[in-house]
Amino acid sequence: MKEKHAKPSYEELERELVDLTYSEKLQHALFQIASISHGELELDSLYQQVHRIVNEVIDATNFFIALLNEEEQHIQIVYFVDEKDSGDKDLTGEILPLGQGLTSFVVKTRQPQLLNQQRIAALIEQGEIKEVLGSTDFTSWIGAPMITGDTFHGVIVAQTYKTAVHYNEHELKVLDFVANQIASAIESNVNETQRRHAQQRLAEQHRLLEQKNKQLTSTIDNLKKTRQELVQREKMASLGGLVAGIAHEINTPLGICVTGVSHLMEEFKYIKHSYEQQTLSEDDLVEFFDELEQGLKILETNTNRGALLVKSFKQVAVDQSSNKSRDINIKNYLGEILLSLKPKLKRVKHEVIIDCPDNINITTNAGALSQILSNLILNSLIHGFEDKEHGRIKISVQDKPKVINLHYADDGKGLTSEQVDCLFEPFFTTKRGEGGSGLGTHLIYNLVQSLNGKIKVKSELGKGLAYLISLPKSL
């Protein structure tokens, strides 16, 4: 006969039912915690809900959560409920030094800890723990670290004052699970906060950059307008100087002509009066013819000289003000430019040499070309020959298939390599504080560009300055 198994007693069935009920409650509680920890709750609300759920499966009436600041070595109590330490002794929000208490022991070991009075006494004797903060008459204490990766966020603690309640390893594992979930929630919250702050900073930086960009755009536009105005003023000042110089130069032949005409008028009146009085002699008539011949030669020479100056001035001045393209013979036009600069050149002992074939013709903006060469020559006179009595300028022109190469060189004092690098920049001048505008060479560069040409410069200190300007034959 088969041996019959004894039926379980009522007490055994009751224990199994209690274990089953607890297991179901535990699973439900852990599911709830796992669900809310990654939700959108604020951390304060999360702490309250976690405490409520944990209290359903563990006697966790006395419960607190502390966050760790490893750099400052202190903890901040962010959630605190205690039967004996609540009320006037509520530690929520308090910042406490890490010290050598029970919580610091969890921090130091980075492991969940199950402690009772006997275990605590042993740890104190071993020097692992120095003191216990708050009430010390609890019967059982469990604490678990909140860690994600290498980041230690803090500690979660439950303790009981009931003599009939003693925590065990099973409940310690539950608290450790809860600690891990809260750690994940804290990290998610921190990451989200950092992300929001980063977005806010990025938005603010974007706003500031847009504002700065508008300011810079406005400043650049104003600078461009100012530069254009200054360049135009520089051109007009150069033209004004040309007008003043030519006016002064024309004054000399005109003055001689006026004097000559006045003298001839006196001679004419004398001869006429002698004729009318019938006192005119042959010698007087011959002498008058001699005076007349000499006077007319003087008038012819000086009127031709004045006419040539006016023609040169008119052509160069019109070219510089009109900015229109026309056909020019390079050699003849260089001569006209030099003639227009005669008032400046005759005051000095410097020499200007033109080396150009007779048959080079191009279609270009003659005014721009005149402005380029005038500025180059004046720069040599003002800057290159500052301390030199006898300077030499040579302008050579070479005819190439599609372009002409214009070589300009003086034997002045030259520039340093640093000055050469800045030569064409606006407002660069070696005469800062002495009336130099710093727009002369910048204007030259812009004018060469307007002619679709290229310009290069070479210089050494004490060895003069040279330019190579390449211009198309037809603009």
Residue 473, domain member (yes or no) = yes
Nearest residue to 255 (alpha-carbon basis) of 302, 304, 214, 222: 302
- CB-based contact 410:458 (threshold 8 Å): no
Judged by average pLDDT, the poorest of 9-13, 264-268, 326-330 is 9-13
CATH of the domain at 152: 3.30.450.40
Residue 432, domain member (yes or no) = yes
What local confidence, expressed as pLDDT, does residue 2 receive? 47
Q: Is the pLDDT of residue 388 over 80?
A: yes
Residue 227, domain member (yes or no) = no
Residue 99, domain member (yes or no) = yes
Residue 392, domain member (yes or no) = yes
Q: Is the pLDDT of residue 143 over 70?
A: yes
Tokens of 331: 């050699």
Q: How confident is the model at residue 28 (pLDDT cuts 50, 70, 90)?
A: low
Residue ending a domain, among 176, 194, 212, is 194
Count of structural domains within the chain? 2
What local confidence, expressed as pLDDT, does residue 355 receive? 95
Q: Is the pLDDT of residue 6 over 60?
A: no
Tokens of 353: 């040499």
CATH of the domain at 430: 3.30.565.10
Residue 416, domain member (yes or no) = yes
Contacts of 469 (CB under 8 A, 6+ apart): 372, 405, 406, 407, 408, 448, 453, 454, 455
Q: Is the pLDDT of residue 85 over 70?
A: no
Gyration radius of the chain's alpha carbons = 52
The CB density around residue 328, as the number of other CB atoms within 10 Å, is 21
- CB-based contact 96:78 (threshold 8 Å): no
Residue ending a domain, among 194, 209, 243, is 194
Range of 17-26, 225-234, 272-281, 426-435 with top mean pLDDT:
272-281
3-state secondary structure the chain: CCCCCCCCCHHHHHHHHHHHHHHHHHHHHHHHHHHHCCCCCCHHHHHHHHHHHHHHHCCCCEEEEEEEECCCCEEEEEEEECCCCCHHHCCCCCEEECCCCHHHHHHHHCCCEEECHHHHHHHHHHCCCCCCCCCCCCCEEEEEEEEECCEEEEEEEEEECCCCCCCCHHHHHHHHHHHHHHHHHHHHHHHHHHHHHHHHHHHHHHHHHHHHHHHHHHHHHHHHHHHHHHHHHHHHHHHHHHHHHHHHHHHHHHHHHHHHHHHHHHHHHHHHHHHHCCCCCHHHHHHHHHHHHHHHHHHHHHHHHHHHHHHHHHHHHHHHHHCCEEEEEHHHHHHHHHHHCHHHHCCCCCEEEEECCCCCEEEEEHHHHHHHHHHHHHHHHHHHCCCCCCCEEEEEEEECCCEEEEEEEECCCCCCHHHHHCCCCCCCCCCCCCCCCCCHHHHHHHHHHHCCCEEEEEECCCCCEEEEEEEECEC
Contacts of 386 (CB under 8 A, 6+ apart): 412, 413
Tell me the average pLDDT of the chain. Answer: 80
What local confidence, expressed as pLDDT, does residue 134 receive? 72
Contacts of 413 (CB under 8 A, 6+ apart): 383, 384, 385, 386, 387, 388, 461, 462, 464
Each residue's pLDDT tens digit, 261-318: 887 888 888 888 888 888 888 888 888 888 888 878 878 777 776 776 666 555 555 5
Q: Is residue 189 located within the same domain as residue 330?
A: no
Which domain range does residue 378 map to?
324-475
Each residue's pLDDT tens digit, 397-407: 999 988 999 99
What local confidence, expressed as pLDDT, does residue 438 receive? 53
Report, as an integer, the average pLDDT of 42-53: 80
What local confidence, expressed as pLDDT, does residue 456 receive? 94
Contacts of 90 (CB under 8 A, 6+ apart): 80
Residue 423, domain member (yes or no) = yes
- CB-based contact 371:238 (threshold 8 Å): yes
Residue 267, domain member (yes or no) = no
Residue ending a domain, among 144, 170, 194, is 194
Portion of the chain with pLDDT greater than 70, in percent: 77
Q: Is the pLDDT of residue 433 over 50?
A: no
Treating both helix axes as pointing N-terminal to C-terminal, what angle do 169-276 and 282-322 enclose, rounded to 10 degrees?
160
